[in-house]
């Protein structure tokens, strides 16, 4: 294991419409709080994706940027190589759909994805907008997931992935589950700064890279989590 | 003004009565309810009220209310101007504004970005000004590439004169294809939504205010009006010192657009500036209120681009109170907090309040900005010693603070 973490933020010029930068900042903060050194690369969509990173992040975006992003990532191949080498990946919202075999374009047309997750996505009947809370797969040992979703996607999970969580409040994949994971690849509809309210998910990504982590001061994370969960969960 | 048909006259009069009642009973300023009543009785009312006036529509993500006010203030030198000064920027608000000043030969209407195509189609406005487009309240607003596309179609279908900020690639793309465009270099501070070409998706190369697509022919047009620091250079090359009372780069940008707009109405910059310089505060924004020996300057910031503008105006030597809510008009999603770089506040006393103060607290903690959390705005004010204080709040947080201070301008 290493004491150095290489973060790669993919295509902030295309896929960063909802505060996605938050996930980068939170991973940096939580790694540095443990004395780890962090190196972050922001990869524009006109540049090659380096394949030597430890944790890759990809965010949400509108239809056109999503299609452009998927095309460029397929052509580039760097992200697929990195995952094949064992890198971790957190894919959010539009970025989550891109990781599947196919997703729905502007007119609902099928657009091929990267095939890093055994999922296929299409467009739902109505937009899912609002708070989401979900119980995480016990195998991951994480507390309740909390966040905000804003998407029209419906995602079918294939046998090659496990649901990340089961929804208590919100829509998620559309079948009572939310997100999915396989190996060190995690996808979620919790858009934007999903890690702000789920620091344990951030720590999971870090632990996959550097091994067991020391506890750190989580006061402000926990205060926000408690407030949001209390606001949406039945008493 | 030509005479309105009887039905429209009646609809307009009943709407005004509803507005008066609403005000008298303390329900609001009445501009929305009045317009709704009018539109219910005569769905064609907005078109009829707009006909035979010289009308300018003003739309953007940020600066709509202020630019509308600047243009109105200048145009008043030519005659009476109907305007939705209270920021009621959807059709009901437009009806209300126009029926309140039914003989005004001029009208300047602030228009919500989503409603611009509809309002333009209905009113056939002679002039449309467009300043900027950036991420804003994503949980309820259209996504901005989609919005730019809707603007583009609506503008291409009309002979309207478009006054557009060519430093914003998305605005430029929306205005391209219009029959007549006056390009204004009004600056662009927030760039996170315009790294890619709206035409082909290729990367935009940027150098200063200039930009060009690396892969297609789409590039920044040559402006005929240019904002240059404190000055605006008009199409003849003459330089005008703005000397506004409103602070900050964003307002100089709004003023450049306003000067180009009123020039289309025949008002020369020399005269127009007299009107622009009279504006000191817009719907409570930039206003200073007093409490217990403290002078609080109120700044509104509704989205990431707006926060950058507010930081530009805030005084680094003063303590600052930040207040954030997430009610319907603010957007119920606070993700945007992570798009704002708060590190500029390091070194100032920072107090955090508002209904979503915990979201902001975590954001500041991760940014390494020391802060103090306060349960109420009053508590935040009391914590600070007497003297000057800057306040930045988002929409409903700002309205709550104004209500506390009696909505003084």
The closest CB to that of A44, out of B201, B203, B336, belongs to: B203
Residue contact B195–A68, C-beta within 8 A: no
The closest CB to that of A65, out of B140, B196, B365, belongs to: B196
User: Which CATH architecture is the domain B44-276 placed in?
Assistant: 3-Layer(aba) Sandwich (3.40)
Written as six digits, the tokens of B20 are 């008066």
> Any residues with CB less than 8 A from the CB of A3 and at least 6 apart, and which?
A35, A36, A37, A210
Give one DSSP letter per residue of B13-70, joined into a string.
HHHHHHHHHHHHTTS--SHHHHHHHHHHH-TTHHHHHHTTSEEEEEE-SSSHHHHHHH
Give the up-direction half-sphere exposure of residue B270: CA atoms within 13 A in the CB hemisphere.
1
Relative to beta strand B106-110, strand B54-59 is: parallel
A174-202 residues labelled b (16+ CB within 10 A) or e (exposed): beebbbbbbebbbbbbbbbbbbbbbbbbb
- Among B112, B193, B210, B128, which Cα is nearest to B164's? B128
Domains and CATH numbers, chain A: 4-232 (3.40.50.880)
Per-residue pLDDT, B406: 66
Going across the sheet that includes B288-291, the strands are B288-291, B294-300, B387-393, B320-323, B350-353, B372-373
Per-residue pLDDT, B408: 47
Interchain contact A178–B (C-beta under 8 A) = no
Residue contact B335–A191, C-beta within 8 A: yes
pLDDT bracket for residue A105 (50, 70, 90): confident
Written as six digits, the tokens of B293 are 């020996």
Per-residue pLDDT, A108: 82
Q: What is the distance between the alpha carbons of residues B104 and B102, in angstroms, rounded to a whole number?
A: 6
Phi/psi-derived region of residue B243, left when phi > 0, alpha when psi is between -120 and 50, beta in every other case: left
Per-residue pLDDT, B141: 54
B155 close to B118: Cβ distance less than 8 angstroms: no
Q: Which of A46, A69, A75 to mutate to test the interface with B (most CBs of B within 10 A)?
A: A46
Give one DSSP letter per residue of B282-345, joined into a string.
BTTBT-EEEETTEEEEEEE--SHHHHHHHHHHS-TTS-EEEE---SGGG-S--GGGGGS-GGGG
The CA-to-CA distance between both ends of chain A, in Å, stands at 43
Q: What is the DSSP letter of A104?
A: E
Angle at A95 between CA A90 and CA A98, to 5 degrees: 115
Convert the pLDDT of each residue in A217-226 to its tens digit.
999 999 999 9
B7 close to B42: Cβ distance less than 8 angstroms: yes
The closest CB to that of B335, out of A19, A63, A224, belongs to: A19
Interchain contact A48–B (C-beta under 8 A) = no
Written as six digits, the tokens of B176 are 């391209």
Average pLDDT, 10 consecutive residues per value, chain B (409 residues): 76 82 69 80 87 95 94 97 88 91 94 95 96 77 81 95 97 94 93 84 89 95 97 98 94 97 97 95 85 93 90 95 94 93 96 98 98 96 96 94 72
Residue contact A13–B196, C-beta within 8 A: yes
Q: What is the distance between the alpha carbons of residues B53 and B106, in angstroms, rounded to a whole number?
A: 6
- Residues of A in Cβ contact (< 8 Å) with B135: 17-18
**Domain B288-404 sits in CATH 3.40.50.300:** no
Q: What does the mean pLDDT of chain A come to?
A: 95
Convert the pLDDT of each residue in A65-98 to its tens digit.
899 999 999 999 999 999 999 999 999 999 999 9
Interchain contact A69–B (C-beta under 8 A) = no
A42 close to A12: Cβ distance less than 8 angstroms: yes
Written as six digits, the tokens of B322 are 């930040």
- Positions of A marked catalytic: 93, 191
- Residues of A in Cβ contact (< 8 Å) with B365: 220
- Residues of B in Cβ contact (< 8 Å) with A17: 135, 138, 143, 193
B109 close to B97: Cβ distance less than 8 angstroms: yes
B384 close to B378: Cβ distance less than 8 angstroms: no
Could you tell me the residue ranges of all domains in chain B?
Answer: 44-276, 288-404
Give one DSSP letter per residue of B94-128, joined into a string.
HHHHHHHTTT-SEEEEE--GGGHHHHHHHH--SEE
| Closest chain A residue to the Cα of B144, Cα to Cα | A62
């Amino acid at each position: 294991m290493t004491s150095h973490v290489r973060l790669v933020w993919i295509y902030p010029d295309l896929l960063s419409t909802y505060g996605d930068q938050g996930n980068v900042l939170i991973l940096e903060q939580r790694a540095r709080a443990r004395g780890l050194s962090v190196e972050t690369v922001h990869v524009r969509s006109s540049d090659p994706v380096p394949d030597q990173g430890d944790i890759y992040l990809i965010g949400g975006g509108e239809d056109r940027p999503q299609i452009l992003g998927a095309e460029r990532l397929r052509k580039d191949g760097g992200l697929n190589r990195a995952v094949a080498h064992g890198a971790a990946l957190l894919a959010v919202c539009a970025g989550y759909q891109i990781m599947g075999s196919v997703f729905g374009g502007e007119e609902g047309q099928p657009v091929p994805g990267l095939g890093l997750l055994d999922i296929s996505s299409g467009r739902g009947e109505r937009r899912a907008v609002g708070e989401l809370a979900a119980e995480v797969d016990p195998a991951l040992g994480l507390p309740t997931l909390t966040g905000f979703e804003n998407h029209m996607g419906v995602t079918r999970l294939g046998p090659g992935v496990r649901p990340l969580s089961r929804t208590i409040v919100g829509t998620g994949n559309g079948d009572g589950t939310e997100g999915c994971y396989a190996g060190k690849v995690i996808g979620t509809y919790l858009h934007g700064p999903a890690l702000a309210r789920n620091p344990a998910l951030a720590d999971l990504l870090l632990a996959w890279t550097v091994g067991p982590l020391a506890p750190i001061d989580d006061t402000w994370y926990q205060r926000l989590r408690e407030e949001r969960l209390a606001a949406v969960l039945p008493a | 003004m030509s005479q309105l048909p009887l039905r429209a006259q009646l609809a307009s009069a009943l709407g005004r009565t509803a507005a008066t009642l609403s005000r008298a009973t303390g329900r609001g300023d009445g501009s929305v309810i009045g317009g709704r009543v009018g539109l219910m009785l005569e769905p064609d009312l907005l078109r009829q009220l707009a006909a035979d006036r010289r009308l300018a529509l003003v739309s953007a993500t940020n600066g709509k209310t202020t630019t509308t006010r600047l243009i109105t203030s200048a145009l008043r030198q030519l005659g009476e101007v109907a305007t939705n000064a209270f920021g009621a920027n959807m059709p009901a608000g437009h009806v209300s504004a126009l029926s309140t000043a039914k003989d005004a030969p001029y009208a300047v209407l602030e228009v919500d970005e989503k409603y611009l195509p509809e309002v333009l189609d209905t009113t056939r406005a002679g002039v449309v000004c467009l300043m900027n487009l950036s991420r804003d309240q994503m949980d309820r607003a259209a996504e901005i590439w989609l919005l730019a596309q809707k603007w583009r179609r609506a503008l291409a279908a009309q002979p309207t004169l478009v006054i557009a900020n060519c430093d914003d690639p998305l605005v430029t793309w929306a205005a391209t294809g219009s029959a007549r465009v006056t390009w204004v270099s009004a600056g662009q501070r927030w760039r996170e939504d315009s790294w890619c070409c709206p035409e082909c998706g290729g990367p935009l190369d940027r150098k200063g205010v200039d930009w060009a697509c690396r892969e297609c022919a789409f590039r920044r047009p040559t402006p005929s009006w240019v904002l240059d620091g404190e000055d605006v250079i008009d199409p003849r090359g003459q330089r005008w010192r703005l000397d506004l009372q409103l602070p900050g780069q964003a307002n100089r940008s709004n003023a450049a657009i306003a000067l180009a707009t009123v020039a289309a109405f025949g008002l020369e910059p020399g005269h127009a500036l007299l009107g622009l310089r009279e504006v000191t505060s817009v719907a409570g924004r930039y206003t200073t209120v007093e409490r217990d020996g403290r002078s609080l300057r109120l700044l509104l910031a509704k989205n990431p681009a707006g926060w950058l503008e507010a930081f530009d105006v805030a005084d680094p030597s003063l303590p600052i109170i930040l207040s954030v809510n997430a009610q319907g008009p603010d957007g119920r999603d606070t993700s945007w907090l992570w798009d704002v770089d708060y590190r500029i506040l390091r070194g100032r006393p920072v107090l955090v309040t508002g209904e979503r103060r915990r979201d902001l607290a975590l954001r500041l903690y991760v940014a390494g900005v020391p802060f103090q959390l306060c349960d109420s705005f009053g508590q935040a004010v009391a914590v600070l010693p007497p003297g000057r204080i800057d306040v930045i709040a988002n929409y409903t947080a700002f309205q709550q603070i104004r209500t506390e201070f009696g909505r003084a301008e």
